[in-house]
Amino acid sequence: MPLQTLEDFPPELDKLWQTLEAVVDPEIPVLTIADLGLLRDAEIGADETVTVTITPTYSGCPAMNMIEQEIKRVLGEAGYGAVEVKTVLHPAWTTDWLSESGREKLRAYGIAPPAKGSTSKRALFGAEPEVTCPHCGSKETEQVSAFGSTACKALWRCRSCLEPFDYFKCI
Amino acid sequence: MTADTEKMTPEQQALFDYLLRLGDNAVVLSHRLGEWCGHAPVLEEDIALINVALDLLGQARSIMTYAGEVEGAGHDEDALVYRRDGFDYRNVLLVEQPNEENFAVAIVRQFLFDAWHYELQTALLQSSDARLAAIAAKSVKEVTYHLRHSSEWMVRLGDGTSESHGRVQEALDDLWRFSGELFEADAVEERMAAAGIGPHPQSLYAAWSETVDRVLAEATLSRPEDGWMQSGGRNGRHGEHLGFILAEMQFLQRAYPDARW
């Protein structure tokens, strides 16, 4: 992730980023927008205006408006004045930006995290990732559908414990 | 809307036309896929088709917002999509072809489009227009997924039962005449290619053709002969189907202008 570590930040930015930690993805509420890598930048301008930069997971992600409202609400409650939320497309979001703690939170929530550093992202054929069942840890799993309940997930099933589960698609 | 476009330079006008082609393809195909909501053969596929529709709609929003800025006439994405008439739509004819309540038709249409869309977005990664390159970098990830999905269905249906094979071959034979338009060059496309903004349409053909051959071979389907190719959509000459799409899509904004959610 291109984000700086919090320790390098001046205190006021440190506080701003920590405040933004309260903003979660409305569709996967165990993950913060920082965990997901959606939060690209946050800064305080000379006129005290706060600018927060976010990027969508998918072009049509319907959660973006809500995330923007949440950022404004959370920062407003924390006493920040003018808040501007910018959405950028470049560089394009990738599941590789998901934080280590975010991946663990996903697994605990019952969603298999994306295969890491996968080379299959642009492979057109024969690129089934190995996905571990988030319930029982078995690797005996199969894809039921390439698309799931949200744009970022696919539907899988475990052949060991027979439970269905969501897999966070690797892009 | 045409009166305002007089203020654009010829370069801006060509870019605007080009962006409308990209955006309209995405909007119209998204709408066709949306028609499957609640009607697909299985629940998982219902979800899949709508997911693809959502990706395309998101891509269209990025493109249309940019198109509105290039045009400089104060039209946002909604104005461009909901207030333009059929003859101002610039999508290829392939994407407006109706579903005919036939899943094979939806899959073949999607496959022919995805195989082309994948090559187009890959080429746009190198666009000299930074905004378009950024949109492509986002889109190509989604389109890769779409192509994988429609290819798998081509194989599953083609190499399936005699019923599914027959249906998908018939849909392929029927829709093939709309594939030629994807690779047609005209003044707009030539200008984009010369400026390094978009690829020359014919440069996408070889890779598209290879993908098509590979998938059709695995699907045990026959590639139709190239015959008379229909075209005109990119210049606003559409079949009767587009009007019905727009009548439904634009109803609310036409009846209640500026209505907000």
Q: Does domain B8-224+231-255 have CATH number 1.20.1260.10?
A: yes
CATH 3.30.300.130 in chain A, residue ranges: 6-93
Q: What's the pLDDT at A122?
A: 65
Q: How far apart are CA A154 and CA B44, in angstroms?
A: 10
Q: Which residue of B has its CA nearest to A93?
A: B138
Tell me what pLDDT residue A126 has.
Answer: 60
Give the amino acid at B160: G
Q: How many Å lie between the alpha carbon of A137 and the closest alpha carbon of chain B?
A: 24
Q: Determine, for residues B148 and A146 on separate chains, whether the beta-carbon distance falls below 8 Å.
A: yes
Instruction: State the Cα–Cα distance between residues B112 and A39, nearest whole angstrom.
Output: 36
CB atoms within 10 A of CB B32: 23
Q: What is the distance between the alpha carbons of residues B134 and B65, in angstroms, rounded to a whole number?
A: 14
Two tokens, residue A107: 């697994």
Helix (H, G, I), strand (E, B) or coil at B180: helix
A71-125 pLDDT per residue, tens: 999 999 999 989 999 999 999 999 989 999 999 999 999 999 988 766 566 666 6
Instruction: Give the ipTM.
Output: 0.85
| Band (A8; pLDDT cuts 50, 70, 90) | low
More confident call, B257 vs A116: B257
Token digits of residue B163? 């019923």
Q: Which residues of chain B are within 8 Å of residue A92 when distances are taken between CB atoms?
A: 134, 137-138, 141
What is the 3-class SS of A80-123, one letter each residue?
CCCEEEEECCCCCCCHHHCCHHHHHHHHHHCEECCCCCCHHHHC
Residue A130 has pLDDT above 90, yes or no: no
Pairing state between β A50-54 and A111-112: unpaired
List CB contacts (< 8 A) between A146 and chain B.
Answer: 48, 145, 148-149, 152
Residue partners of A17: CB distance under 8 A and separation at least 6: A6, A9, A34, A42
Report the first-to-last Cα separation within chain A, whole angstroms: 15
B92 CA to centre of own chain: 7
Per-residue confidence (pLDDT) for residue B144, from 0 to 100 = 94
Q: How many residues appear in chain B?
A: 261
Centre a 10 Å sphere on the Cβ of residue A30 and count the other Cβ atoms it contains: 15
Q: Which amino acid is at A86?
A: K
Please report which confidence band the pLDDT of residue B56 belongs to, taking 50, 70 and 90 as the band edges: very high
Give the model's pLDDT for residue A1: 41
- How many Cα atoms are found within 13 Å in the side-chain-facing hemisphere of B169? 16
A1 contact partners, CB below 8 Å, separation of at least 6: A37, A97, A99
- Which residue in chain A is spatially nearest to B137 when comparing CA positions? A92
Report the alpha-carbon distance of residue A39 to residue A58 in Å, rounded.
14
| Mean pLDDT on A16-36 | 92
Is the minimum CB–CB distance between B127 and chain A shorter than 8 Å? no
Place of tokens 């907000």: B260
CATH number of A6-93: 3.30.300.130
What is the percentage of chain A residues whose pLDDT exceeds 70?
A: 88
User: pLDDT digit string (tens) for B164-190?
Assistant: 999 999 999 999 999 999 999 999 999
Q: What is the DSSP letter of B33?
A: H
Q: How high is the pLDDT of residue A117?
A: 63
Residue B57: its pLDDT value, please? 97
Inform me whether the pLDDT recorded for A50 exceeds 90. yes
